[in-house]
Amino acid sequence: MANLYSQYQNSHDIIGFKEVRYGQQELELLRKCYPEAIIFLLIRNPVEIWKSIPDNWPISNHIEKYITTWIENSKFYIKMDQEDKRAYLIRFEDLVAKDSQTVNLISRLAQLSKAQINDVLRHKIGSTKNKMISAKDEAFILKNCQEIMELIGYQV
């Protein structure tokens, strides 16, 4: 990562990136390599994620595998949020809704103005279009993810 972002070392005080596939192994390695880094653990309602997965992605036909991965990652995110003083769990929906507590936290920790954050939130880049899913799939996701969703504050 130092090589990847070396071109920015003179012009950027802070480097941030978004990676939606990181789980426990990747985050533990990231923390070992960058012990002082601030890590935002962005979590999203699993039903909405399932709706946004393109049909041509390898996981798109494997709802059970998707659910298992979401649960494992979410459990680790909760644990990391509780145990790592430089890791912060943020719900995607709170960020998109520009929840003041969420925006204030990001503003303070990432050293960004609220105007900068709002400017970024106004633009969708590479977003996928939500597809319709069956009531059966939605019920299956909710049944299997309910316990973790409630821990995160989602109403099920």
pLDDT digits (tens, 9 = 90+) for 106-130: 999 999 999 999 988 887 776 667 7
Assigned domain for 126 exists: yes
Assigned domain for 13 exists: no
Assigned domain for 85 exists: yes
Structural domain boundaries enclosing 142 = 20-152
Assigned domain for 68 exists: yes
CA distance 154 to 48: 12
Q: How many domains does the chain have?
A: 1
Assigned domain for 3 exists: no
Flag whether pLDDT at 60 surpasses 70.
Answer: no
- What is the pLDDT at residue 126? 66
pTM here is: 0.87
- What is the pLDDT at residue 56? 76
Assigned domain for 34 exists: yes
Report in angstroms the alpha-carbon separations of 19 from 27, 39, 115, 151. Answer: 10, 11, 23, 23
Assigned domain for 2 exists: no
Assigned domain for 24 exists: yes
Flag whether pLDDT at 93 surpasses 80.
Answer: yes
